[in-house]
Amino acid sequence: MKKQVGAKKPERYELGRVRDRITFLYLEHAKLNRQNSAIQVTDSRGIVYVPAAILSVLMLGPGVDVSHRAMELIGESGLGVVWVGEHGVRQYAYGRPLSHSSALLEAQAKLVSNRRSRVMVARKMYQMRFPDDDVSQLTMQQLRGREGARVRRVYLDNSLRTGVPWSRREYNPNDFEAGTPINKALTAAHQALYGLSYSVIAAMGASAGLGFVHTGHDLSFVYDFADLYKADFSIPVAFDVAAKFSEDPDIATKTRLSMRDSFVDGKLLVRMVTDLKSLLGMEEADSTVDSINLWDDRMGLQEFGVQYHEQPEDGGQ
């Protein structure tokens, strides 16, 4: 028997569904390798094994080395990876669709390419964030104005709730330490939310770059999608952490841990999968089915794998 080249791909039934996975795991100053179907994590405290199929996203901080074998497993498991700098300020991401289907991507491209449907999705996203507002007739300019006012209100409400002073959002990606405790916590909280959003988008087979409100960036849709959950997750968590740990020099770590607990308690992964399908009009479709066809401008989808050069050019008619 001919020896197999490369690692054996896991079967679909061996991989956990996106909605059932653990939200994220943050690692730093560690070496990652592969041991069967688990990621072997080695640091100064010892070795632990993390099943790749149950994770949604790995956030890898400074001092992490990843082997080729670990990346094989990560890629085949549909696990998203976000490389983050110190304090999570900078991020570089990798992700592979878990579904192997282009259904969501095609639906997204169709919606974002038409002005009317793009505005419709933008209104839908705003309505999901603020269900009490009627935005069915608002323009994009009016949506931005309404959103800005509501988001400022969210910040002020959380400030009053926790007693944390608030003036405005200040964020310098080149100097994390220059920020106030609440701004540091907000930066860390939003980064965790961006990482999870990216992972879900990539795993479901949609595009991180095809945004409806944000545009022109390879993570435009990540920013769109994450905005749906800031008022319920990252903003209140950041204010809670700032109220308790304002003097803690490692407030970023405290924030990430609190975000992880909030994701689990709020069942955010389940919600994200449902919301993503709803936004792209794919609620009833099974986007996990493997399917590949050939496109034809006259005859519609044609079967893949057929030796068409052996058939008459007129299709035998």
| Last residue within a domain, chosen from 43, 59, 94 | 94
Residue 76 near residue 245 (C-beta atoms within 8 A) = no
Structural domain count, the chain:
2
pLDDT of residue 12: 45
- Model pTM? 0.73
Highest average pLDDT, of 63-72, 191-200, 223-232, comes from 223-232
Query: Which of 64-69's residues contact partners 24+ apart within 8 Å by CB, and which partners?
Result: 64/27, 64/28, 64/29, 64/30, 64/31, 64/32, 65/30, 65/31, 65/32, 66/32, 67/31, 67/32, 67/33, 67/34, 69/7, 69/33, 69/34
Q: What is the mean pLDDT of residues 83-102?
A: 66
Between strands 22-27 and 31-35, the pairing is unpaired
- For residue 93, report the phi and psi dihedrals to the nearest 5 degrees: -130, 155
CATH classification of the domain holding 82: 3.100.10.20
| Last residue within a domain, chosen from 66, 94, 122 | 94
Would the annotation count 147 as a binding residue? Answer: yes
β-bridge mates for residue 55, sequence order: 22
pLDDT at 290 over 80: no
Tell me the C-alpha distance between 232 and 178, whole Å.
26
- Do 171 and 78 lie in one domain? The reply is no
Name the E strands within 144-298.
Answer: 293-294
Q: What is the mean pLDDT of residues 276-304?
A: 68
What six digits make up the tokens of 225? 């999608």
pLDDT at 13 over 50: no
Tell me the C-alpha distance between 90 and 61, whole Å.
10
Q: What is the mean pLDDT of residues 80-100?
A: 66
- Do 268 and 132 lie in one domain? The reply is yes
145's CB contacts (< 8 A; 6+ apart) are none
Would the annotation count 214 as a binding residue? Answer: yes
Tell me the C-alpha distance between 187 and 87, whole Å.
9
What six digits make up the tokens of 199? 């992972």
Residue 294 gets the label, from left (phi > 0), alpha (psi -120 to 50) or beta, of beta
Q: What is the mean pLDDT of residues 214-219?
A: 91
How confident is the model over 167-201, as pLDDT tens digits? 999 888 778 888 899 999 999 999 899 988 988 89
- Do 77 and 128 lie in one domain? The reply is no
Which pLDDT band, with edges at 50, 70 and 90, does 133 fall under?
confident
pLDDT of residue 204: 85
Would the annotation count 248 as a binding residue? Answer: no
138's CB contacts (< 8 A; 6+ apart) are 123, 126, 146
Residue 97 near residue 289 (C-beta atoms within 8 A) = no
Domain contains 298: no
pLDDT at 283 over 90: no
Of the ranges 53-57, 144-148, 233-237, 238-242, which one carries the lowest mean pLDDT score? 53-57
Q: Of all residues in the chain, what percent carry a pLDDT higher than 90?
A: 48
Q: What is the mean pLDDT of residues 121-144?
A: 91
CATH classification of the domain holding 249: 1.20.120.920
Residue 69 near residue 38 (C-beta atoms within 8 A) = no
Domain that holds residue 212: 103-279
How confident is the model over 230-267, as pLDDT tens digits? 999 999 999 999 999 998 989 999 999 999 999 989 99
